[in-house]
Each structure stands twice: as C-alpha cells, then as structure tokens.
Structure 1
Amino acid sequence: MGKNLGFLSFGHWSPSPQSQARSAADVLLQSIELAEAAEQLGLDGAYYRVHHFARQLASPFPLLAAVGARTKRIEIGTGVIDMRYENPFYMAEDAGAADLISGGRLQLGLSRGSPEQVIEGWRHFGYAPAEGQSDADMGRQHAELFLDLLQGKGFARPNPRPMFPNPPGLLRLEPFSEGLRERIWWGSGSDATAIWAARMGMNLQSSTLKDDETGEPFHIQQARQIRAYRQAWAAAGHARTPRVSVSRSIFALVNDRDRAYFGGRTDVDHVGMLDETTRAIFGRSYAAEPDVLVEQLRQDQAIAEADTLLLTVPNQLGVAYNAHVIEAILQHVAPALGWR
C-alpha cells in the first residue's frame, strides 16, 4: 500500500569533533536545510522531536515557521510536543501563524510527554496538576483545551472601547487557520491512550516505544494498537478518515560509509522499565543491504497497518549524509514494498 514517508529528527547537538551539529544554531539551520533537501528528493514530511532542558530541539514553532517559509510542498510536523509544558492559548496563536506561513501544511503531534531531563520540568513553566490529578491528566487537559481553541469559536468578551474595531460577538484567538484542527496527532504509548485519541478526533502517532502490554514482539503489539484505534474511531462516528504514523530507524546499506556506520549490527526489540511502574518495549532498528531490508520490512505488521512512516535520522551526521539515507530508502526500498 502507498505510504506517506517523512523524516523525524531528534535534533541532537554535541560539541564533539565527530558531530556535524555542534551547537543549537547548527541544529536549527540544518533542520531547515534537511527539510529543503528532503522536499527536493520527493519525501512527504519533515517532523521534529521536542525536548525541554536538553541539547535538542525545544520550542518548535519558530523552526516550523522557518521550514514553512523555505519549502513549498512537504508536510511539517512534530513528534511530539509535551502538552504538560504548554499554554494552550499561546500555542493556538503560534500554531495558527506557523500553519498560515506554510500554507496549511502543519501536522502537529502532541502527547502527555515522556521521561525527561529534569524532575517535573513543567513546574518551572508554571504548571502543576490540580488536586487528585496526575501530570499525564494535566497534559491531556491542556490538549483538550488546545483542540477546543482550534475550532475557532469566540469565547472572550470584547472591550466596549477597544483600540481597534471588533467583529460582532465574542472574540476568538487570532490568527485562526481553518482546517488545522484536523491535522492534530496524538503520540500514544498504550492501547488505552490510542483509543482516547480516536474518541477526541486526533490522528495517531506511534513511535518505537510503547507499554509492553502483552509480551509479544513490538510490531505485533503496535499493529494491535493501531487496529484498536481505528475501531474506536469508527465507533466515535467521525466523518473523515484518520491518519496513522509509525516511526522506525531504517538504513539501506548501499556504500562503505553506510556499512561503517550501521553495518554488522543485529537488532532486536528491547524490554525494560520506563519508570518505577511502566514496563516498556522498544522496537528494533533495521540496517541491511536493500534486498535483505525489503524482506525484513515486509514482516513488520505495524508498518503495514500505518499510512505514514517516519524515518528517524541521525542528524549529527550532517545534512548531506541524512539526505543520502533518505534517498537510499526512496530509491532502493520504497518501490519494492509498494510504498511508492
């Protein structure tokens, strides 16, 4: 089945001499350049991780707006914005502006968040769960408010003597971007949150990490999660067809440099404790000669279930090498699997 193919960059930087991205400026500028290169190669999406208090990409909207201004066709997204940290009102303005700059190409992935660099970092941003609430509940509450604001309904009473004339009725946040509400995704780590995302009318993002709910191989658990999501979507009676993405590290070994970086590794799923109570499973990476890679990927049930595949890229190896990684997938792997 045909697939939307995008890249997902974690945006790491390091002062190490081995890194092509040694500063925040390097990562931000290279993130824009990689989106431009990916668009020229025919890739469908440029997606970026969001992590606070880390040498990685953080506030996504300046980057998304810059990519939107420098590209014409490629989808621009996140995977994922930690909603525990977000002011939904300010975020709705930022998202509306970035979406209008890009001509309606934003695909925003949100989530309740993942293990982070600091203890309860959201508290430093001024947020705390209400009595009887968990931080995950707070993240989902912020997301629900954000989704509500994206509908563009007026809610704020106008000043009777405003600086500028107002339209009639209650006022909404501006700038408003029509259609953005349908391009919001939820990054889900469990079957239950995937079902919640379906009920809320969000697309589904599933990464290479999820709760280990059955002990089966990762791709089988993830495929089951996707099917549960689609069933819940149908039951909710939404009018449109939802989108589902999965992310994978996939490297086609086509030259000596590829083999030096990624060859000779046999990769398997890994299981471990994400925190004190959560047993998680981390899906395998793929790195092989193209014909072997095609056969391995044919067995991945979750990739088969998804309509969108995000290729995680080793951004510290530089724009030119990452463009090569993308081109190798597009040339040697995607056609054989019917993704193109």
Structure 2
Amino acid sequence: MPSFPRPLRKLGFLTIGLFDAADPARGHESTLEIIELGERLGFDSAWVRHRHLQYGISSPVAVLAAASQRTRRIELGTAVTPLAWENPLRLAEDLATVDILSGGRLNPGVSVGPPMHYAQVKDALYPDTADAEDFGYERVRRLLDLVRGKPATDFSGAEGFEVFSDVVQPHSPGLGRRLWYGGGSLGSARWAGEHGMNFLTSSVVKAGDGDGPPDFAGIQLSHIREFRAHHPDGEAARVSQGLVVIPTDSAGPEQRAKYAAYAAERLPRTASPQGPAGLLFAPDLVGTSEEIAERLHAHAAFREVDEVAFALPFTFGHEDYVQILTDMATKLGPALGWQPAAD
C-alpha cells in the first residue's frame, strides 16, 4: 500500500449553497456562478450538499441540471443525497436525465440512515408508511440496480400508441460507475466496496472504529483500506477526501481574521467524539497553501488518495468563496502535485 503522498490527480470543491430566505434566487445564482468559476479555474469537479427544510440546496439534482447547461467540462456531484428522503426509482430517473443533459458528468453521492428530526417530519414525508420504511443499505441497492439497468417492472412493449420500457429511461450506461457512497464507518466502507461504488470520505468519522485514543487520520485511513480491500478494483478503486480547507494566500486581513475565528470556534469538537454516535471531526485546515500542503502530506488518509473535494465553509460570502477557490486552484493544488484541467 502507498506510504507516500500520491500526486493529486483530481481537485474538486463542495458547497452547501446557502441562501437568504428573503431572496433565495440570489443564493442559488451564487452557487451556479461558483461552479462556473470552478470550471474556469480548472477544477475537476464541483459538488453540492443536500439540505432539507434548511436554507441550503434542497434540490441538488435541479441545481446541477442548471449547472450542466452553464458548464461543459467540470464534473458535477452531490455530497451527499440522503436516500431516506428519496424514492429510488424516481431518483434514478432524475439522475439519468441530468447525466444525459450534462454529457455524462454527473457523480451522485448518497448515504443512508433515518431523516434528521424524523419524529417531527415523518407525517409530512411518509404519512402512511413511516413505520415501515427501510432506511438502510437496501435503499442504496435499489438505486444501484435501477441506475445500472435492472428491470423495474415485468412489463414492456407497446400498448396502443405508447411504448413502455422495463428499465429506467433515459438509461445512461456510464452513470452506474459514477455512483458514490458517503460513509464514515468501517461498515459503510466495506458495503460500498462490495457493491462496486466509489467512496466519499469527509471531515467526520465514527470514533469507535479506531483502537486507543481517537485519531481522525488513522481512522479514516482504516476506512479507505477497508473499502479497497472489498472493491473489485482493489487499490485502483476511487476514493475522494473532503476535508474543510481554507487557503489564505490572497485573503485580506479581515478575511484572514474571519477564517481563523471560524476554525477556532469549531476546533473544540475535534478533541473528543461527539454525540451518541461518537462522531469525530477533523480540524479545519486554515493557512497559506504551503502550510496546508505540509499538513496534508503528513495526513495518513490523504497519503492514500489522489482525489479530493475540499469543503467550503458553510457561512462565508460569495467573495470569500471566490478567493478560496482561486487560491486552491492557483496555489494549493499545484503544491499538491495537481495540474488544472485543460479547456
């Protein structure tokens, strides 16, 4: 297994797409402009988070459909879509449609588990079946089967003037190889590998997966190796790391102070596992590109990957994201061995 940092092959970024409830159009437009900027800067991928009943992107498939018509090269992903809110058949149709519209650039990331605040939302989400819904891996398997072309019905053919298919239409043959699972545990890493998915890691892991004192990088490394050990592609199986990274090379004094305060406020949660699930958070990486590159090269999990989707902070302004992305593409990426994609 690799014992040295791989040159970074793919550089991506992740945004939550926040908006003001009084002017949601501006926030959505900002997200699209950021994706367009990412393509101009040579980023390989742009990813959007999925947020329900919050002031963030609630319909990433719709947002990425719009982005697909304003870009031509950059890959577009979700990190991640919680499948508990979705019907796998309907989602498979939407994903295939956007993949066709984008020319095969969609990278859907999904996860499982009950919806957040399920007790409060279940009557609106599943008024008749709330207690019967399965929010485990079976939901992902159904989506995988449908996207990969497994029949959804035993009926096909002509009925009067209409013609019916037994598989999801449109069918996008390459999409099944571009499905990602967002996981933070050994079990999810193993399941994703066994089912031939790609694996999204983030700044959160399950602390109970490690031995001894909590060590974020070591735990995340164990997940990456577990995933590849069970994937048909072995060491070549795709893994993307998604830490929060904030380069400050071209930031002004006020921006640097804001970034430092943001990271400091979130730092205490990285000292020990949080909540009933025992989740361990990685510290945000703030500093010059040279400083961040040095920290990443020393990060045990980063040394095993050649793809990243660095997460943008939740609460910053449009101009901050422009500065951060520009520094990522022009300073940090090259310091990690990356070269911008050619137009």
The answer to whether the superposition gives a TM-score over 0.5 is yes
Counterpart code for 1:7: F
Give the drift of 1:316: 4.6
1:61-87 deviations in whole A, cap 9, x for unaligned? Answer: 111111111101101000110011111
Find the counterpart in structure 1 of residue 3 from structure 2. none
Find the counterpart in structure 1 of residue 4 from structure 2. none
The residue correspondences of 1:1-340 to structure 2 (distance < 5 A) are 1-14=7-20, 23-113=23-113, 116-117=116-117, 119=119, 121=121, 124-126=124-126, 128=130, 130=132, 138-154=135-151, 155-158=153-156, 161-165=159-163, 171-213=166-208, 214=210, 215-233=213-231, 237=232, 241-254=236-249, 255=251, 256-263=253-260, 267=267, 269-275=270-276, 278-314=277-313, 316-340=315-339
Q: Secondary structure at the match of 1:207?
A: coil
Are residues 259 and 115 of structure 1, via their aligned partners in 2, closer, same or farther at CA, if it must alter by over 3 Å? farther
1:190-247 deviations in whole A, cap 9, x for unaligned? Answer: 01111011001110011111110223321111011101111111xxx35994210111
CA distance in structure 2 between the aligned counterparts of 1:82 and 1:24, rounded to whole angstroms: 22
CA distance in structure 1 between the aligned counterparts of 2:113 and 2:220, rounded to whole angstroms: 19
Q: Secondary structure at the match of 1:147?
A: helix
Are residues 221 and 151 of structure 1, via their aligned partners in 2, closer, same or farther at CA, if it must alter by over 3 Å? same
Are residues 27 and 322 of structure 1, via their aligned partners in 2, closer, same or farther at CA, if it must alter by over 3 Å? same
Consecutive unaligned residues in structure 1, runs of 5 or more: 16-21
Give the drift of 1:274: 3.1
Give the drift of 1:333: 2.0
Give the drift of 1:182: 0.4
1:127-164 deviations in whole A, cap 9, x for unaligned? Answer: 5353xxxx7x5242221111101122443413763332
CA distance in structure 2 between the aligned counterparts of 1:100 and 1:74, rounded to whole angstroms: 14
Consecutive unaligned residues in structure 2, runs of 5 or more: 1-6
Paired residues, number: 321
Counterpart code for 2:312: V
CA distance in structure 1 between the aligned counterparts of 2:321 and 2:86, rounded to whole angstroms: 31
CA distance in structure 2 between the aligned counterparts of 1:120 and 1:3, rounded to whole angstroms: 43
Are residues 311 and 240 of structure 1, via their aligned partners in 2, closer, same or farther at CA, if it must alter by over 3 Å? closer
CA distance in structure 1 between the aligned counterparts of 2:294 and 2:59, rounded to whole angstroms: 39
Q: Secondary structure at the match of 1:51?
A: coil
Does structure 2 retain, via aligned residues, the 8 Å contact 1:8–1:311? Answer: yes
Are residues 159 and 294 of structure 1, via their aligned partners in 2, closer, same or farther at CA, if it must alter by over 3 Å? closer
TM-score, normalization: structure 1?
Answer: 0.86
Counterpart code for 1:145: R
Give the drift of 1:273: 3.3
Give the drift of 1:95: 0.4
